[in-house]
Amino acid sequence: MSSITKPARPLPPGSLGLPFIGEPPRLLDLEFLMQQYHKYGPVFKTRVLGRNIAVFMGPEANRFVLQTGAHYFSWRDGWPPTFKELLGESLFVQDGAEHKQKRRLIMPAFHRQALHHYLGTMEDIALRYLDRWAQQGSFAWLHENKQFTFEIASTLLTGSAPGADTERLSQQFVTLTGGFISVPLRWPWTPYGKALRARAALLRYIDGAIEHRRAHPTDDALSLLVQTRDEEGHALTNQELQAQTLLLLFAGHETSASMLTSMALALWQNPAAWAKARAEQAALNIQGRLTMEHLKDMPYLEQVLKEVERLYPPVPAGFRGVIETFEFNGYTIPQGWTALYPINVAHRDPAVYSNPEQFDPERFSPQRSESSVPFSLVGFGGGARVCIGYAFAQLEMKVLASHLLRHYTWEIVPGQNLNMIYFPTLFPRDGLKVRFARRPPDQ
């Protein structure tokens, strides 16, 4: 009897560069990625700092990484060690049954009913910030947006309103994320050493919130985590509570701040879209507080937010470790490699989006519905591990945007650097300096 062995498929196209060293890291350079996509299709190989990397691009590859082939990948093995040490043992680095169990525990804090509860607090915080911005008159909006979204995340997810500490804590997150791609030298003056100190300061703040939640449990995410017990009645350890909370605060504020900043920039650069978004708000004739019904009735604002997600996705890419050798698109991807899916490549795919470089919210209208190709819009990831905070983020962005559009106006200060930096989340280099004012009632 003759046995037929299937010939091994080749490795994906691309270059591994010099032995040991690899190629210069260009994995967040959109122009380079688009060139590779047009040249090689949905997968190419490269090597960065000794790691072999398969880069998955476009809707079909996104679907594979996020859904159909998700079992070949590990989140824990994908993220760099610096990231794991700084964020700790949290959802982001958990896999399989452990991840499923922890996600199920946290999920109720993001259900529809919980979001209903959050609306009033989100609007109170938004009104306070808008008032402050109108009084300040000019500021760097990214910095302000980070404080705004941090205050919302901390108040609603941990039950701890940071108040006067908001700016300091939000700054600690900037220092923490600065450590993600630094060399892990732990001296106090190195970026990594500073990131570790910022982590310690944030954990002290979180410890205070945990103690308070133990004494006064409610239905926020931290309370749910504090009260949870496994089958044998064991609670989560303090270390795990700290890590999950730190992750929620990190993932839950830098990203939304980035997207709000990009929205302000995009509207200012596209006056027709800005006018149309304002007209939609005016037609709603909202008197007094925002309701969920109002927010459901803003289709154009939703299209604007999708277009901002498409052109300015806050998260540049997702990392995974390959835990089992597999084939994709006729190529072998070996176990032990790292996989990466850059989010913005599918978003600029001319086979999906007409004039992909153009800001055009109507592309998401029911008539055109350009994102109907599955996994062509993945600013929040996709599949079973899609962003847990998607609806939370949409809610806070819509609340702020509705007030901005109805009552305020802004101008971008000339002469600043608007080039986009891709890491840790997308932002214009100078943080978007603006002049900001309340709009006279009849304009």
- Of 194 and 402, nearer to ligand HEM (C-beta) is 402
Q: Least distance (Å) from ligand HEM to the CB of residue 95?
A: 9
Q: Does 118 bind ligand HEM (CB under 6 A)?
A: no
- The CB-nearest residue to ligand HEM is 389
Here's the x/- map for ligand HEM, 221-250, by CB under 6 A: it reads as --------------------------xx--
Here's the x/- map for ligand HEM, 54-73, by CB under 6 A: it reads as --------------------
Stretch that binds ligand HEM, among 176-184, 204-212, 356-364, 379-387 (CB under 6 A): 379-387
Stretch that binds ligand HEM, among 49-57, 132-140, 375-383, 400-408 (CB under 6 A): 375-383
Restricted to residues 276-335, the positions that interact with ligand HEM (CB under 6 A) are 314-315, 318
Restricted to residues 11-50, the positions that interact with ligand HEM (CB under 6 A) are none
The residue count of the chain comes to: 443
Restricted to residues 149-178, the positions that interact with ligand HEM (CB under 6 A) are 153, 157
- Of 194 and 221, nearer to ligand HEM (C-beta) is 221
- Of 145 and 172, nearer to ligand HEM (C-beta) is 145
Q: Does 379 bind ligand HEM (CB under 6 A)?
A: yes
Q: Does 342 bind ligand HEM (CB under 6 A)?
A: no
| Count, residues near ligand HEM per rule CB under 6 A | 24
Of 37, 64, 92, 427, the one binding ligand HEM by CB under 6 A = 92
- Of 312 and 410, nearer to ligand HEM (C-beta) is 312
Peptide bond preceding 424 in cis form (omega within 30 of 0): yes
Cα 324–chain centre separation: 27
Say if CB 157 and CB 252 are below 8 A apart: yes
Q: Least distance (Å) from ligand HEM to the CB of residue 217?
A: 19
Residue type, 210: I
Number of Cβ atoms within 10 Å of the Cβ of 183 = 9
Stretch that binds ligand HEM, among 128-136, 182-190, 376-384, 399-407 (CB under 6 A): 376-384
Say if CB 393 and CB 387 are below 8 A apart: yes
- Of 54 and 91, nearer to ligand HEM (C-beta) is 91
Q: Which residue has the tokens 């909202």?
A: 286
Write out the two tokens for 292: 């969920």
Q: Does 103 bind ligand HEM (CB under 6 A)?
A: yes
Q: Least distance (Å) from ligand HEM to the CB of residue 296?
A: 19
Q: Does 203 bind ligand HEM (CB under 6 A)?
A: no
Q: Least distance (Å) from ligand HEM to the CB of residue 376?
A: 14
Restricted to residues 245-284, the positions that interact with ligand HEM (CB under 6 A) are 247-248, 251-252, 255-256, 259
Distance CA 305, CA 356 (A): 16
Q: Least distance (Å) from ligand HEM to the CB of residue 90?
A: 8
Q: Least distance (Å) from ligand HEM to the CB of residue 93?
A: 9
Residues that bind ligand HEM (CB under 6 A): 91-92, 103, 153, 157, 247-248, 251-252, 255-256, 259, 314-315, 318, 379-381, 385, 387-389, 392-393
